[in-house]
Amino acid sequence: MPKIFISYRRSGAAGYAGRIHERLASVFGPSSVFMDVDDLKPGSEFPLAIDDAVASSDVLLVLIDNEWLDLKDKEGRRRLDDPADFVHREVTAALKRNLRVIPVLLNAARLPAQRDLPQSLRRLADYQALELSEERWDYDIERLISALGGNRNRRLKRAAAVAIAAAAVVVVLAFYATQPRIDLNGTWIATVPYEFSSPQKETFVFEHHGATLRGAASFLGAERLIVDGKADGDQISFLLKTSEQAGDEKLEAVHYYRGTVAGDEIAFVMQTEGGFSVHPPIRFNARRR
C-alpha cells in the first residue's frame, strides 16, 4: 500500500481534504493516508512531525484551489513565499526527496506556471495534474484512486470479499430482515443556529431511492436543490450551493450536510466551505413533519 500525504490550505480546501482523506482511507487503509493535525499523536512537535510524515510517504497530493497561489498573510505577503509556511515546507520536502507528487486541481483551478512559484517549488509545475470537481466528484475521485494504484488493490480485495460473502450470506440476510427500514421520504423541519444570523427555521424535503437521496432544502429560508445526495444505512449526506457577494465580487459557498437518522429525527452536522469567510461546523436536529 502506498503511503499518501495530503497537503492543503485550511482556508479553502479543508472540506475537500477531509472528503478525499475519507475516500482514500477506505481504499488504502487509515494508516496509509496522512492529513496533518488530524493524524498527529498528542504531544507531537508539529513541524518535525510533518517533516517525518513527508519523509515516510510515497506520494504527496497537493490540493490546489483558486486561492492556493496568491493567499496572503496578515501583513499582505504571499504565504507561499514564506519558507516556514507549512504548504511551502511540505511540497519542498517532497520535491527534495523526489517523492511522487500529484497536483490535484479543485473546481477548475489551474496549475501554477513555474514563473509564479518560489524557486524551491518550481518543479511542481512539471508534474501531471488531476482535476477534481463537484460536478464529476465520483468519476474524478476514482481517477485519483486509479492513479494511486487503488483499483488493483480493490480487485484483489473484491475477490476475497466474494468468497467471504458467499459463506456469510444467510447470516447477513437474517440480520437485515430484523432491522427496521429507514424511511426518509417526506418533509423534515429544523431550527438551524447559524453563527452569522439568528436561528432560522429550515425545511428539508427528501426523496429516498436506495442509496440515492434527492430533493430540496432551504438555506436562510431560500429553497435549494440537493446535490450529491447519498443514503447509507442510517447515514445520509448531501450538499447545497449558495452565492455570496461583496461589492462587485461574487463567490460560491458550498454547504456540506451529514446526518444520522434515528426514527423521526436526524442529527445533522453542516460545514460551509468557500465564500468570504471561514465558518465552524453547525450541529442541529431535524424532525419529521
Give the number of domains in the chain. Answer: 2
| Same domain assignment for residues 192 and 275 | yes
| Same domain assignment for residues 19 and 127 | yes
- Express each pLDDT in 43-55 by its tens digit: 445 667 777 888 8
Q: Is 42's pLDDT higher than 80? A: no
Residue 281 lies in a domain: yes
pTM of the model: 0.52
CATH of residue 222? 2.40.128
The residue to which cell 487509515 is assigned: 30
| Same domain assignment for residues 129 and 197 | no
| Same domain assignment for residues 132 and 208 | no
Helix (H, G, I), strand (E, B) or coil at 23: helix
| Same domain assignment for residues 69 and 195 | no
* Domain encompassing residue 260: 186-288
Per DSSP, the residues of 139-190 read HHHHHHHHHTTHHHHHHHHHHHHHHHHHHHHHHHHHHHHTSPPP---EEEEE
93, 120, 148: which is the final residue of a domain?
148
Residue 173 lies in a domain: no
- Express each pLDDT in 187-244 by its tens digit: 999 999 988 778 999 999 999 888 899 999 999 999 999 999 999 889 999 999 998 8
Q: What is the pLDDT of residue 276?
A: 78
Residue 180 lies in a domain: no
Residue 172 lies in a domain: no
**Grid coordinates belonging to 250:** 461574487
Bridge partner list, 233: none
Residue 68 lies in a domain: yes
Q: Is 38's pLDDT higher than 80? A: no
Query: 19-26 contacts: CB < 8 A, separation 24 or more?
Result: 19/256, 20/61, 20/63, 20/104, 20/132, 20/141, 20/144, 23/141, 23/145, 24/144, 24/145, 24/148, 24/150
| Same domain assignment for residues 13 and 139 | yes
- Express each pLDDT in 253-267 by its tens digit: 899 999 999 989 999
Q: What is the pLDDT of residue 110?
A: 93
